[in-house]
């Protein structure tokens, strides 16, 4: 007496499904990676929910497993898991309609290059739909952990605009997905082929992935993936390739990381860190609520994804794993917040990332330039946010200056200080909406003439950088060239001072007249010898020092 109800996909989903079916074909086997990844997530979520809902463990099935099977006669591939499962509402919310933000974003990011585009699937959270690359019909049957057997749900669709839902009886919790393959996909109905795909893409999934034995008479199953915690293995045993594979598994990124660090720490706290710096920015680097890239494990068991407890925001691009033996298995986000062990681990992880970047900057400048292009603006936030590590972060900053040949930010404060003019005791900078606007500013004329380098700051975050660094770098104060009359100190010669004074007297009547004209609009009008090609320029009030400005911006 079950009734079947029909629903219509949202327009974007229909578009996505069409795309999956027709244009990602060259990388079609990724459907298995995506469905296995969902199964593994579902198992992780069940484990996590059990801490707060122990009754979920009462169904007696304590053996987490992902099964992959096929039926040559029926032309189907089946993927099933004993994870958390879904209620009817969850099926509608997660698979049917797409309020999920990833879909629109994914469509916007498509490049038309099949390899690149198929790699995007995992990053944008639209993995489930990749089933339609090889299947003409997908049937998903699921029952949420803790629900009654009668509360099973069956979702079915041919991916062409509609899907159906019906209630079914399902004694066991978890999810089963049956793919009815399209004509011509028979080559996938092959144990060896499927095993190879699983090993290629899902070797690092921590749950055992099992397949029926190839021997038709046997009912035995074999585990196909390594299902091991890579970070728990000794460094000496691991190859760069394994590290890179693991990174791709962890990050959904399809490019190799720029650098990584793997350390096992013993002492007051015991933990293992495996941290990666990606080589390209994820699409959501600037989305405030974006997923972070660190995962916390306790004694190899996945506990949760970071939401700021493991890495500060200015290192949010770091991907990796922290595995601690000092935390309880039922640790919650609240416990993490106040944990001394976590504080300790976090600060050691931050230091290791900074050291990794420092070594990269020193030994592999080209790689560092790539890093800076992608993540420099994020790292800059650290100047204001991480007082304890400010000096180390300052060494990592790169700027465009009046000496740069291109707009590329390639000058460190260390370089700048190293070539300061004799008698120069400040680091000069100019803040402008863009580096291009900065380099055209008349404020620079005198500095150009005297051959003094000026940092050209054109990013929104630069305000914070100068605020954070305003006291000094290496004992040198930072000084804006656009506020007040920049004090050139010993860089100014006596002849110039005299000329300025003389001009001041000579032009006194003109100045008086201009002041009267601009009354209420300009605070003062002065003669300057600092301009070489521009007739005049506007300067900020010198009473507003950087520090005062900073305090005003911070509202204190
Ligand atoms: P993502 O995994 O990035 O969230 P997907 O399109 O792969 O995106 O999956 C969409 C959602 O459907 C998942 O977030 C999850 O809520 C749900 N889902 C998919 N497969 C399963 C499964 N095997 N068990 C439980 N929930 C699932
Ligand atoms: Mg997924």
Name the band, by pLDDT with cuts 50, 70 and 90, for residue 28.
Answer: confident
Sign of CA dihedral 371, 374, 380, 386: negative
- Give the integer Cα–Cα distance in Å for 191 and 197: 10
Strand partners, 473: 476
pLDDT of residue 118: 63
Instruction: Please check if 251 is assigned to a binding site.
Output: no
Distance 541 CA to ligand 2 centre (A): 55
Mean pLDDT value across residues 332-342: 83
Instruction: Please check if 123 is assigned to a binding site.
Output: yes
Strand order in the sheet with 294-298: 259-265, 271-277, 319-324, 294-298, 301-305
Region of poorest pLDDT, from 22-31, 117-126, 160-169, 330-339: 117-126
Q: Is 127 in the pocket of ligand 1 (CB under 6 A)?
A: yes
pLDDT of residue 288: 78
Compute φ and ψ for 162, nearest 5 degrees. -135, 160
Contacts of 209 (CB under 8 A, 6+ apart): 36, 66, 67, 68, 198, 202, 223, 224, 225, 227
pLDDT of residue 125: 61
Instruction: Please check if 540 is assigned to a binding site.
Output: no
Q: Which ligand is nearest to the CA of 37?
A: 2
Nearest C-alpha neighbor of 390 from the set 318, 466, 458: 466
Instruction: Please check if 126 is assigned to a binding site.
Output: yes
Check: pTM over 0.90? Answer yes or no. Answer: no
- For ion ligand 2, residues whose CB falls within 5 Å: 37-38, 127
Instruction: Please check if 38 is assigned to a binding site.
Output: yes
pLDDT of residue 96: 63
- Give the integer Cα–Cα distance in Å for 224 and 289: 36
pLDDT of residue 312: 94
Contacts of 551 (CB under 8 A, 6+ apart): none
pLDDT of residue 70: 96
Compute φ and ψ for 274, nearest 5 degrees. -135, 110
Q: Is 83 in the pocket of ligand 1 (CB under 6 A)?
A: yes
Distance 322 CA to ligand 2 centre (A): 22
- Residue 549, pLDDT above cutoff 50: no
- Residue 521, pLDDT above cutoff 90: no
Q: Is 44 in the pocket of ligand 1 (CB under 6 A)?
A: no
By most ligand atoms within 8 Å of CB, the mutation choice from 35, 128, 170, 175 for ligand 1 is 128
Instruction: Please check if 102 is assigned to a binding site.
Output: yes
Mean pLDDT value across residues 183-188: 95
Query: Where would I find the beta strands (DSSP E) of 31-134?
Result: 66-71, 76-81
**CB-count exposure of residue 56 (10 Å: 0-12, 13-18, 19+):** middle
pLDDT of residue 1: 52
Q: Is 220 helix (H, G, I), strand (E, B) or coil?
A: coil
Select, from the ranges 6-10, 354-358, 456-460, the one with the highest average predicted confidence (pLDDT): 354-358
Region of poorest pLDDT, from 20-29, 99-108, 188-197, 281-290: 99-108
- Give the integer Cα–Cα distance in Å for 435 and 444: 13
Instruction: Please check if 407 is assigned to a binding site.
Output: no
Residue 242 CA to chain centroid, in angstroms? 22
Closest residue CA from atom 27 of ligand 1? 38
Mean pLDDT value across residues 98-120: 63
pLDDT of residue 121: 63
By most ligand atoms within 8 Å of CB, the mutation choice from 94, 106, 124, 126 for ligand 1 is 94
- Give the integer Cα–Cα distance in Å for 142 and 88: 9
Q: Are the beta carbons of 515 and 423 closer than 8 angstroms?
A: no
Q: Is 36 in the pocket of ligand 1 (CB under 6 A)?
A: no
Contacts of 146 (CB under 8 A, 6+ apart): 53, 55, 56, 173
Write the pLDDT tens digit of every residue in 192-235. 999 999 988 888 888 999 999 877 777 889 999 987 789 999 99
Ligand 1 atom with minimal separation from the 122 CA: 3
pLDDT of residue 551: 46
Ligand 1 atom with minimal separation from the 175 CA: 23
- Give the integer Cα–Cα distance in Å for 60 and 47: 13
Q: Is 93 in the pocket of ligand 1 (CB under 6 A)?
A: no
- Give the integer Cα–Cα distance in Å for 307 and 290: 9
Distance 514 CA to ligand 2 centre (A): 68
- Residue 350, pLDDT above cutoff 70: yes
Q: Are the beta carbons of 66 and 81 closer than 8 angstroms?
A: yes
Instruction: Please check if 483 is assigned to a binding site.
Output: no
Region of poorest pLDDT, from 50-59, 136-145, 235-244, 442-451: 50-59
Ligand 1 atom with minimal separation from the 38 CA: 20
Closest residue CA from atom 3 of ligand 1? 125
Ligand 1 atom with minimal separation from the 84 CA: 25
Q: What is the CA radius of gyration of the chain?
A: 30
Q: Is 174 in the pocket of ligand 1 (CB under 6 A)?
A: no
Write the pLDDT tens digit of every residue in 385-421. 998 999 999 999 999 999 988 888 999 999 999 999 9
- Give the integer Cα–Cα distance in Å for 455 and 522: 27
Write the pLDDT tens digit of every residue in 469-492. 756 788 888 888 887 656 666 666
Region of poorest pLDDT, from 50-54, 68-72, 350-354: 50-54
Q: Which ligand is nearest to the CA of 84?
A: 1
- Give the integer Cα–Cα distance in Å for 119 and 114: 8
Mean pLDDT value across residues 451-458: 91
pLDDT of residue 25: 72
* DSSP for residue 470: S
Q: Is 353 in the pocket of ligand 1 (CB under 6 A)?
A: no
Q: Are the beta carbons of 262 and 313 closer than 8 angstroms?
A: no
Share of the chain above pLDDT 70, in %: 86
99-104 CB contacts, 8 Å cutoff, 24+ apart: 100/125, 100/126, 102/126, 103/12, 103/13, 103/16, 104/12
Residue, of 118 and 413, whose pLDDT is higher: 413
Name the band, by pLDDT with cuts 50, 70 and 90, for residue 552.
Answer: very low
* DSSP for residue 95: I
Query: Where would I find the beta strands (DSSP E) of 415-541?
Result: 426-431, 455-457, 477-480
Residue 297 CA to chain centroid, in angstroms? 19
- Give the integer Cα–Cα distance in Å for 523 and 531: 20
Q: Is 17 in the pocket of ligand 1 (CB under 6 A)?
A: no
Residue 464 CA to chain centroid, in angstroms? 21
- Give the integer Cα–Cα distance in Å for 345 and 341: 6
Distance 251 CA to ligand 2 centre (A): 12
- Give the integer Cα–Cα distance in Å for 208 and 205: 8
- Residue 532, pLDDT above cutoff 70: no
**CB-count exposure of residue 318 (10 Å: 0-12, 13-18, 19+):** buried
Compute φ and ψ for 311, nearest 5 degrees. -140, 135
Residue 184 CA to chain centroid, in angstroms? 39
DSSP alpha helices (H): ranges in 203-339? 240-251, 333-338
pLDDT of residue 490: 63
* DSSP for residue 364: -
pLDDT of residue 211: 96
Mean pLDDT of the chain, nearest integer: 85
* DSSP for residue 525: -
Q: Are the beta carbons of 24 and 16 closer than 8 angstroms?
A: no
Name the band, by pLDDT with cuts 50, 70 and 90, for residue 548.
Answer: very low
Distance 435 CA to ligand 2 centre (A): 40
Helix (H) or strand (E) holding 401: strand 400-401
- Give the integer Cα–Cα distance in Å for 136 and 509: 87
- Residue 85, pLDDT above cutoff 90: yes
- Give the integer Cα–Cα distance in Å for 330 and 319: 23
Instruction: Please check if 88 is assigned to a binding site.
Output: no
Closest residue CA from atom 7 of ligand 1? 127
Give the strand pairing for 477-480 and 319-324.
unpaired
pLDDT of residue 556: 35
- Residue 555, pLDDT above cutoff 70: no
Distance 40 CA to ligand 2 centre (A): 9
- Give the integer Cα–Cα distance in Å for 370 and 358: 14
Region of poorest pLDDT, from 253-262, 380-389, 526-535: 526-535
Instruction: Please check if 94 is assigned to a binding site.
Output: yes
- Give the integer Cα–Cα distance in Å for 385 and 550: 14
Nearest C-alpha neighbor of 398 from the set 433, 425, 361, 364: 361
């Amino acid at each position: 007496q079950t009734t079947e109800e029909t629903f219509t996909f949202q327009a974007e989903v229909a578009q996505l499904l069409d795309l999956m079916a027709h244009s990602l074909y060259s990388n079609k086997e990724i459907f298995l990676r995506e469905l296995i990844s969902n199964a593994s997530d579902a198992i992780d979520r069940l484990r996590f929910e059990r801490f707060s809902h122990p009754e979920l463990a009462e169904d007696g099935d304590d053996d987490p497993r992902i099964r992959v099977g096929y039926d040559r006669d029926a032309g189907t591939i089946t993927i099933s898991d004993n994870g958390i499962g879904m209620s009817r509402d969850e099926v509608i919310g997660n698979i049917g309609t797409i309020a999920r933000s990833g879909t629109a974003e994914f469509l916007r990011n498509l490049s038309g290059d099949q390899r690149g585009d198929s790699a995007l699937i995992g990053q944008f959270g639209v993995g489930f739909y990749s089933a339609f690359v090889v299947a003409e019909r997908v049937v998903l049957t699921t029952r949420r952990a803790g629900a009654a057997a009668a509360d099973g749900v069956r979702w079915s669709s041919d991916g062409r605009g509609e899907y159906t839902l019906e209630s079914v009886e399902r004694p066991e919790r978890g999810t089963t997905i049956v793919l009815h393959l399209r004509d011509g996909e028979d080559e996938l109905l092959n144990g060896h082929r499927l095993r190879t795909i699983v090993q290629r893409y899902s070797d690092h999934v921590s749950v055992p992935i099992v397949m029926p034995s190839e021997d038709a008479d046997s009912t035995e199953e074999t585990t196909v993936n390594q299902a091991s915690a890579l970070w728990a293995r000794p460094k000496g045993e691991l190859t760069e390739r394994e590290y890179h594979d693991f990174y791709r598994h962890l990050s959904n990124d399809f490019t190799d990381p720029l650098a990584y660090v793997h350390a096992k720490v013993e002492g007051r706290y015991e933990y293992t860190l495996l941290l990666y710096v990606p080589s390209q920015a994820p699409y959501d680097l600037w989305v405030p609520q974006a997923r972070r890239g660190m995962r916390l494990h306790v004694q190899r068991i996945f506990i949760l994804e970071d939401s700021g407890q493991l890495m500060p925001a200015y290192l949010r691009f770091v991907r990796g794993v922290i595995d601690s033996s000092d935390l309880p298995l039922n640790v919650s986000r609240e416990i993490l917040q106040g944990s001394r062990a976590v504080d300790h681990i976090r600060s050691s992880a931050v230091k290791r990332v900074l050291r990794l970047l420092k070594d990269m900057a020193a030994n592999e400048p080209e790689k560092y330039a790539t890093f800076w292009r992608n993540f420099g603006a994020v790292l800059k936030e650290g100047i204001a946010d991480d007082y304890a590590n400010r000096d180390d972060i300052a060494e990592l900053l790169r700027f465009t200056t009046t000496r740069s040949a291109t707009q590329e930010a390639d000058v460190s404060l260390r370089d700048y200080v190293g070539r300061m003019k004799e008698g120069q005791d400040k680091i000069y900078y100019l803040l402008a909406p863009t580096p291009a606007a900065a380099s055209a500013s008349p404020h620079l004329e005198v500095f150009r003439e005297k051959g003094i380098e000026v940092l050209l700051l054109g990013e929104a975050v630069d305000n914070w950088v100068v605020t954070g660094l305003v006291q000094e770098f290496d004992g040198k104060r930072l000084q804006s060239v656009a506020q007040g009359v920049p004090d050139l100190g010993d860089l100014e010669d006596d002849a110039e001072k005299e000329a300025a004074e003389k001009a001041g007297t000579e032009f006194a009547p003109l100045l008086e007249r201009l002041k009267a004209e601009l009354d209420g609009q300009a605070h003062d009008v002065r003669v300057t010898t600092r301009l070489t090609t521009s007739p005049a320029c506007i300067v900020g009030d010198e009473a507003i020092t950087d520090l005062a400005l900073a305090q005003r911006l911070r509202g204190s």
